[in-house]
Amino acid sequence: RQYSFYGHEGQVGISTPPQRHIMYMTFDLTTSTRQDLQVLLARWSSAIAQLMKGGTIGQVEPARDSGVGMDTGEAMDLGPASLTVTVGLGPRVFTDTFGLTQHKPVLMRNLMQLPSDDMQPELTGGDLSLQACADDPQVAYHAIRDLARIAKSTGAAQTRWTVMGFGRASAGKGQSTPRNLFGFKDGTRNITEKADFDKYVWIKDGGPAWQQNGSYQVVRKIKIHIESWDTDRVSDQNNVFGRHKVSGAPLTGTKEFDTPDFKKKDADGNLIIPATAHISLASHENNQGIKILRRSYNYTDGLNNMAQLDAGLLFISYQKDPAQFEALQTRLGSSDALNEYISHIGSGIFFVPPAPKEGSYIGAEMF
Ligand code: HEM
């Protein structure tokens, strides 16, 4: 499948169905001139449009002996593989350094300190983000590699942190629900309908016209304590999520898409879905109707220095207001039964402008 970078409502890679793999990278701006930033966003945009067609972004094998390839070549012959690249702008873009303060999206700010935070500075923050998703991991990797090369060659930005995800852990409309590394179906109750995208994901009011259909991207690198989870009884694991591991059904139902009943009690008067279960604390029924779009991926970093599996969830959510994420994570971070098995070790927030029109580029209206 092939997507176009241009002319959508919001940027691609948000409401488009999650592909199988991700390569996610953040960057620090190393320039303090607005023009360098403008050139980088323009060059990235035209390169992304080419990459998403399955093309190269210049010569792979230059005719001159002294020539260095424009494109590194490893995605040749692999096709578009449903590649989408989504560009995010971090809080420091909209500052006096770049003369862009007046273009700051109304709700743009750093995330508040949250109860679960165990952040490693080298996995946190960033001035720009690139989310490349594809059905072939090499296509996603190639896109980020060659876009990072462009950043380096312009002298405008350098890599800050990166995560390669090997399996989608969220479902879009019509997709079967995949599983996260806990072995549970993830994405059963996610945003899929246009009305919900308009209500919870796309910015539809407030701010200048060019920011309409933008969104805020929140990313969290969440480590899973796999060894300890793997020794837990499955009945306890079910209580941690409030769902059955195999079927994905809520503990009050029998089928995956049964609506959870958060008030139902057993014969002893105990809630069947515990109040500390992940879905109980995260559901819109128990959060004044708040919803977010989750578009997460499983990742692994191999082994840690204790020779334990080092893996987790690259959690990515999209919302029209960062406060939607903060409200949910404030509750989850303090009470979620899942906290015994996870640590939030990385974090970032980015404004994702709407898709550019053909011939234009990301954020052009700011310059
Ligand atoms: C639901 C896993 C972190 C928000 C779920 C479900 C699973 C899951 C298995 C149930 C199936 C579903 O409806 O998708 C995880 C894992 C996490 C994690 C493994 C971390 C490693 C988070 C975070 C947030 C969040 C950080 C937001 C701050 C939600 C929401 C739901 C949900 C809103 C839907 C609840 C409902 O309406 O029933 N998650 N999650 N999750 N999760 Fe998470």
One pLDDT digit (tens) per residue for the chain, 367 residues? 999 999 898 999 999 999 999 999 999 999 999 999 999 999 999 999 999 999 999 999 999 999 999 999 999 999 999 999 999 999 999 999 999 999 999 999 999 999 989 999 999 999 999 999 999 999 999 999 999 999 999 999 999 999 999 999 998 888 999 999 999 999 999 999 999 999 999 999 878 999 999 999 999 999 999 999 999 999 999 999 999 999 999 999 999 999 999 999 999 999 999 999 999 999 999 999 999 999 999 999 999 999 999 999 999 999 999 999 999 999 999 999 999 999 999 999 999 999 999 999 999 999 9
Residue 295: predicted pLDDT: 98
Asked if residue 94 lies in contact with residue 48, where contact means CB atoms within 8 angstroms, the answer is: no
Token pair recorded at residue 191: 């945003």
| Amino acid found at 98 | F
Cα–Cα distance between 258 and 104 in angstroms, integer? 42
Contact 42, 359 (CB under 8 A): no
Residue 260 Cα to ligand 1 midpoint, Å, equals 14
**Residue from 278, 317, 313, 288 nearest 299 by CA:** 313
Instruction: Measure the CA–CA gap between 325 and 20, rounded to whole angstroms.
Output: 24
Q: Which amino acid is at 64?
A: R
Which residues pair with residue 23 across a beta bridge? 132, 164
Task: Give the closest residue to 319 by CA, choosing from 5, 10, 4.
Answer: 10
- Cα 316 to Cα 348: distance, rounded to the nearest angstrom: 10
Cα–Cα distance for residue pair 51/102, rounded to 1 Å: 32
Torsion over CA: 10, 159, 169, 278 (sign): negative
Distance 94 CA to ligand 1 centre (A): 31
163, 173, 186, 276: which to mutate for ligand 1, most atoms within 8 A of CB? 186
319 lines ligand 1 (CB under 6 A): no
What confidence score (pLDDT) does residue 116 get? Answer: 87
Looking at residue 174, what is its pLDDT?
87
Both tokens of 330, joined, read 């404030």
Question: 294, 192 in Cβ contact below 8 A?
Answer: no
Is 229 close to ligand 1, i.e. is its CB under 6 Å away? no
Asked if 124 contacts 346 with a C-beta cutoff of 8 angstroms, the reply is yes
ipTM: 0.98
Kindly report the protein residue whose alpha carbon is nearest to atom 39 of ligand 1: 186
Token look-up 């796309």 returns: 202
Residues paired with residue 169 on neighbouring β-strands, in sequence order: none
Q: Using alpha carbons, list the distances in angstroms from residue 292 to 251, 320, 328.
A: 23, 9, 9
Look at residue 34 in the predicted model and tell me its pLDDT: 96
State how far the Cα of 227 lies from the Cα of 239, in Å rounded to an integer: 18
Give nearest CA residue, ligand 1 atom 24: 329
